[in-house]
A and B are shown apart, each in its own frame.
Chain A
Amino acid sequence: MYAELHALTSFSFLRGASQPEELVLQALRLGYRALAITDECSLAGVVRAHIAAKQCGLPLIIGAEFNCVDDLKFVALATDRASYGALSRLVSKCRRATAKGSYTLERGDLENALDGCLIIWLPRAGRAILPQHDQDGRWLRERFFGRLWIGVELLTGGFDTRRLGSLDMLGKTLDLPRVAAGDVHMHRRSRRALQDVLTAIRLNTPLSAVGYALFPNGERCLRPLQRLQELYPAPLLAQTLAIAERCTFKLDELRYEYPEEIVPSGETATSHLRTLTERGCAKRWPAGVPPAVRQSIEHELHLIAELKFEPFFLTVHDVVQYARSQKILCQGRGSAANSVVCYCLEITEVDPSRMAMLFERFISKERNEPPDIDVDFEHERREEVIQYIYRKYGRERAALAATVISYRPRSALRDVGKALGLELAEVDRLARSMQWWDGQCIDPQRIRAAGFDPGDPKTQRFMALTTEILGFPRHLSQHVGGFVIARGRLDELVPIENATMPERTVIQWDKDDLDALGLLKVDVLGLGMLSAIRRAFDLVNQFGGSNVAPGKLNLATVPSEDTAVYDMICRADTIGVFQIESRAQMSMLPRLRPRSYYDLVIEVAIVRPGPIQGEMVHPYLRRRNDEEPVTYPSKEVEAVLKRTLGVPIFQEQVMQLAIVAAGFSPGEADGLRRAMAAWKRKGGLEPFQVKLIDGMLKRGYQESFAQQIFNQILGFGEFGFPESHAASFALLVYTSAWLKHHHPAAFCAALVNSQPMGFYAPAQLVRDARAHGVEVRAVAVAVSDWDCTLERQDDGTARGRGPALRLGLRIVKHLSQEGAQRLLAARAAGAFIHIADLAERAALDRRDLEALAAADALAGLAGHRHRAVWQVSGVERVLPLLPADTVAQEGVPLLRAPREGQNIVADYGSLGLTLRRHPLALLRDALGKRGVIPNQELGEQPNGRSVTAAGLVITRQRPGSASGVTFVTLEDETGYVNLIVWERVATAQRAALLESRLLLVRGTLQREGDVMHVIAQRLTNLSELLGDLTVVSRNFH
């Protein structure tokens, strides 16, 4: 009887007050025959609506609302694939023409646009019809006759009858049919308050001052059919159905087509892929391909050809080839990346002979899902790769996937509070008190603590609306690197808009949307460790001293399975090593004792929230240490779990278990995987639970086993780690560990030069390198480069002793890179005589000079740090008037040389690290009086002993998996101590925990094998002892 043809979702940001799914379900509930989703110049919400509509069987129409710059307003609805393409193209055009987040549409843009779309014109009429309406109507009729309607929206504004009459008249004059519509902004009337709030946020005005910009009533909801019948004449309602019937387009019709140009003329995709694979084979196995590998290759190529995935592999190959040509280090991961074909195509360096078990799940034929390959590139050079893709395929054919930025507690509190006109300082205080570890919901305790009365109706409104707005999309951002490349015009598949970053364009759909429609994307990601590894390779290749032939060290030539490297890993001596440098990983290493590459794969995957929550870690450890027999409930399960000793650790294993033990089809297993990723946000695992447990009981498994598997699935949820990714990461783990062990100076320099990345700040990296015998030399304008460099030892022998590490100018805070470059150029022309000479020839401004003085990098020119600061602070103002050496002649006043403590403070302030004594060495007496034991000596204390420890707070970490535990690492001059702070202690002593730079802790020593923690009981902030020392903790969660 009625189809709503004009409905906005939350993807008309800060306008629509209901999510697409809510609108679909409500339309179904009310008995609507169809629903059109018509967000303002956007198709961002249609995939979600499509999925919901498909599930519940409601016909969905895809459309968009447009507002012309000259006030012409209309809705366009897609009828078929071609008109959908036209609609998407117009949205792209309007969006691309202006800055991110907005669009502009002029009349001219409508010429030859929207072919095949149905148009509902929405004259902005008051009571009377104006000449303007007549003109607009004629203009539209010329272009869209036969598919143009006048939309009649009766919203109980007081003149509905008159409005109906005047639009009737207009229709008769122009000979245009009329149709009922609802200007829907919410699925239920009860969203009125939220809609008002959204309006206030959009206008950045408190509600009390928004005035007429608010809707006068809540009529813009999906209204019951009976009410619509009272409001509208029957023919207008009937007309909605006539329109709905003409709109037959479904998003399922979108089919992805791979780009063509990656295949040279005269070849087919199949033949070209084979040629490239064979070429790679010859390179990888110069002595001939082993028969087992040959068999795999044939199997894989056959499967790829059958599924017509060649263009995908060729596309990834092309991107990787480009990176190699630019000497950008890269490494693929993902299920398809661990194929022999990818190894031959040099997409991955993971040698299948090291990974014999992986290929059974490389591409699933049954599921017909697009293959999964992510490629990591050096993080600082990824942009070059991205721009290459844009260049090669053009902006119409390539774009990044979007990420929908949604309201989280903090932003929700801020925006809603502002809209309600609350005191800004109050709201800010509340929002700030929601520290980075408060999780997802809003805690009434916190509300009270921030000075709000939870009983006050004002506060209740505030809280209710904040909760309601949580999860609402706020704007589109770009996905970290998911590229969509199309054969034809991408903008006819999905609208493209500008991103905030210049030279970036994104599509309006996110990763889940693409997944749901089976569209393919290539993930071009940035990885800091690749930058560091490439730099370390360069340093080693340039400096020599490697057991690999000079210049030949790369990912493929790093000697494999080096026992000494594994020994180091087992000692948890892994600061700086990829992945296994975190607190949790370090405490696992001595227990897991990895001795082979595959052990590293497990190590990478096991210390994850998923396995930890699923309680798989301890069973695995027990079985590995022969403390528990390795058993399998059945042969089938053994096949799946054998490589992990009967404990499911990888995401793939869970899915396979569902197939072999519970009788899931591969498609269902994939549905389970998706549901797993989403259940925390949306729920919806229950049907799988029943099916899984029933299926396993039916196949004779015990209920406890079934329940355990299901719990593990829950644990995997958002955090499950696929084996295929772990395998690629493990290679980088091994490589970085190898570099750390054999080339500690180069490794440390590379890490510092690639900052920010990883878990540790330069202070810890440098301290660690020195602990491993690397001589580290201070920053000095006479010798330092921008980057950290290696220097030969003075005795020239260098045998037994590796090179020294010279800190680079890059670590000097506040020094501009341009200034540093000029300095280096000037130094190349001749050594500096004095500071004025340096300032003049390098044209350094006062800020750069002060930065250098503060870093003590001028010691060679000016004497001690205090003198250097005095000299440079006089430079700039002298230069224009007086000859350059005035400052030099000025004479240096009596300034005391800095004391050790002053120098340490200044070192931390300017460089973030010191090569002098650790600051705590100076405080040792003061700490001793408080009963503090140096960290190193803690190791000699017995388990369970009550101890007092102290140190600089270098990391705080609160993993989502660890049920409220915060891990803190303290550093003193002797080493590190790890604290475990239980939630109760953390809550009670929040300020000390979060604000301390120097933390004193009383607690109980806990030792488990080689792993030692202090369980914190009492925390004391001793930061005052440090004076001005700047210590920045790295916080993770």
Chain B
Amino acid sequence: MKSRARHSAAVKSATADLFADGHGGRHGGTHADTDPAEAQPVSVRRPTPASALAPTRGDVPPTPQAFPRQRTRLWYAVVFSELMEPQQPGYQAASMLQRLSLSAQQFTSLVSIEMPNALLLEIKGSVKLFGSLAVLHAGIDAAWSRLSMRAHSATAPTTLAALWLARAGKQGGGHPLCIEDPGQLAGGLAELPIACTSWDPERLQTLRAMGVTRVGELMRLPRSGLSRRLSPAAVLDLDIALARQAAPRRAFVPRERFRERCDFETEIETVVYLQKALEPLTLRCAQFLRERQAGVQALELRLRHRASPVTRVRFGLASITSDRRRLANVLEEKLNRLELAAPVRGMELVSGSLRPLSAASLDAFAGVRAGGMRAGDLRGGRDTAPQLVERLRARLGEEAVYGVRLIPEHRPEAAWQRVQELRLTSAVQAGGMRVAGMRIDDHDMPRPVWLLDEPVLLSADRQQLRQGDLILEQGPERIESGWWDGKDVARDYYVARQIHGARWWVFQERQTKSWYLHGVFA
């Protein structure tokens, strides 16, 4: 009975060489005092109510937290096998898990993501609420099938045990899916194939080569020898699964946005009052952002009316910001131009997703200020460049003000691209004069400052053009390119002088022989 003796030593000191074997757990029977997990000194600590730890929605920010050591817990693990399938890109799986976490929060406030394809839910507190573990377990399972997710789930007193059971459940097999009693852990896990540990394949292969294919066989091996052969981490995993070792986990925190509403006692009919009412919201929004060291690039104001549908006013910012003054200015500009469709009963300010305030965006401001933004003079010199852009956009429309990016391309119309975000530093350095179409190559071909969005047909006949108002001064420059995106061009470009002195950039299409105006030189 040597092994039995050493086994009990293991229970007491947790330093012995042998794990409890498959029978050891069952041997302990149902008495709590012989249960290895209960034998841990920490297990007597009174559990903190789950609600106190749980992240709540709304204004109070939930902070990432570690669970305290060793309380009696019950973990529900679920594995979504389709998230592991090879055609599923990793980032999609991650965002999918986030969404699933959100829906899991209806069962418990403590949800944790286990990449790449699993969730862990602490459900001890919820069991009572649902009557029994069986009901709760089935209830959660039903949630996945409502979402059409193929899921394998299991419940156990430790995170790893629950995960292993759930993973093994995928392969089928006659092991229990719910273990409530920590005393049942060793026995319940013994028959699981070792693959359920998700250890690296090489390590699993070594184990299989030793004839070790089940977790129970793993538990029988000498602890020090195993630690040396696999890794201390693997032994630690076993300890965690068997509740001999705490396993802190990070809870899932839903993605944040600022969202606050205020209702009016009387209906508001003029924009001026709206602006007043908006001030505290703007202030709190800026505060919210500052606390999180974050900024936004978009805001939405929702105005609720009595009968008509909600008016949604969207605001874009030229760069990520948390600056109250900029937020207020944009809102003000936009509201000034707003015609109220109906009296407003209440409103809600919602931020776009939070973005980190990067050093780069801060540098951009510094650059502008140092460069002395001339255009800022429009408003008595108190605007920064982003503010100017935002003001212009608010007045002319979001689409009217854009940045330009040069693209190395032979087709003139494809050689530049509108961008929303303005690269202000380069615009300032170039004195605002760098224009679409300028190529950086040794030929330095002529390109007009003003390129038409669409070429304008001048004449379908070459002769007529010659007799007309145009004199071809330079060219032809033949451009044949762009077949790969379906917009192949084949044109001969010329610089032409128009009779009134203007210099035009014209081309003749090679196929149709028609003439077009494509740009005007300054």
Contacts and interface: CB of A to CB of B under 8 A. Distances in A.
B209 A196 contact: no
A156 interface: yes
Interface string A894-913: 11111000100010000000
A193 B486 CA distance: 12
Interface string B461-498: 00000000000001111111101111000101100000
Interface in A986-1037: 1028
A212 B441 contact: yes
Which of B209, B410, B441, B477 has its CB near the most chain A CB atoms (within 10 A)?
Answer: B209
A704 interface: no
Interface in B408-447: 408-410, 439, 441-446
Contacts of A897: 211
B493 to A, nearest CB: 7
Interface in A185-214: 192-193, 196, 207-208, 211-212, 214
Contact of B211 (A211, A877, A890, A895): A895
Given A214-B410, A461-B484, 8 more contacts: A126-B442, A158-B493, A159-B477, A193-B484, A211-B408, A217-B479, A217-B481, A866-B209
Contacts of A207: 484
B225 A158 contact: no
A219 interface: yes
A216 B210 contact: no
B228 interface: yes
A155 B444 CA distance: 16
Contact of B443 (A156, A158, A211, A853): A158
A867 B211 CA distance: 9
B408 A212 contact: yes
A145 to B, nearest CB: 29
Interface of A: 126-127, 155-159, 192-193, 196, 207-208, 211-212, 214, 216-219, 420-421, 425, 457-458, 461, 850, 853-854, 865-867, 869-870, 873-874, 877-878, 890-891, 893-898, 902, 906, 1028
Contacts of B225: 870, 874, 890, 893
Nearest to B475: A158
A896 B475 contact: no
Contacts of B371: none
A158 B210 contact: no
A898 B211 CA distance: 6
B480 A457 contact: no
B222 A866 contact: no
A208 B484 contact: yes
Nearest to B491: A217
B222 to A, nearest CB: 5
Q: Give chain B's interface secondary structure class.
A: mixed
B29 to A, nearest CB: 24
A425 B485 CA distance: 20
B175 interface: no
Interface of B: 87, 206, 208-212, 217, 220-222, 225, 228-229, 407-410, 439, 441-446, 474-481, 483-486, 490, 492-493
Contact of B484 (A159, A420, A850): A420
Contact of B209 (A127, A157, A865, A874): A865
B225 to A, nearest CB: 6
B439 A212 contact: yes
Ranked 5 nearest A-B pairs via Cβ: A211-B408, A158-B477, A866-B211, A156-B478, A217-B480
Given A869-B209, A869-B210, A216 B484 contact: no
A383 to B, nearest CB: 35
Contact of A902 (B211, B221, B229, B477): B211
Contact of B220 (A216, A878, A893, A902): A893
Nearest to B489: A217
A458 B442 CA distance: 33
Given A193-B483, A216-B481, A878-B228, A157 B210 contact: no
A872 B205 CA distance: 14
A1011 B169 CA distance: 49
B209 A854 contact: yes
B478 A219 contact: yes
Contacts of A873: 206, 210, 229
Nearest to B221: A893
B483 A192 contact: yes
B411 to A, nearest CB: 9
28 contacts: A126-B442, A156-B476, A156-B478, A157-B477, A158-B445, A158-B446, A193-B484, A196-B484, A212-B410, A217-B490, A218-B480, A420-B484, A865-B209, A866-B209, A866-B211, A869-B209, A869-B210, A869-B211, A873-B206, A873-B229, A874-B229, A893-B221, A893-B222, A894-B220, A895-B221, A896-B211, A902-B211, A1028-B208
A83 B289 CA distance: 78
A192 B229 contact: no
Which of A196, A218, A870, A890 has its CB near the most chain B CB atoms (within 10 A)?
Answer: A870
Nearest to B476: A156
Contacts of B445: 157-159
A211 B407 contact: yes
B215 to A, nearest CB: 15
A160 to B, nearest CB: 8
A899 to B, nearest CB: 9
A446 to B, nearest CB: 19
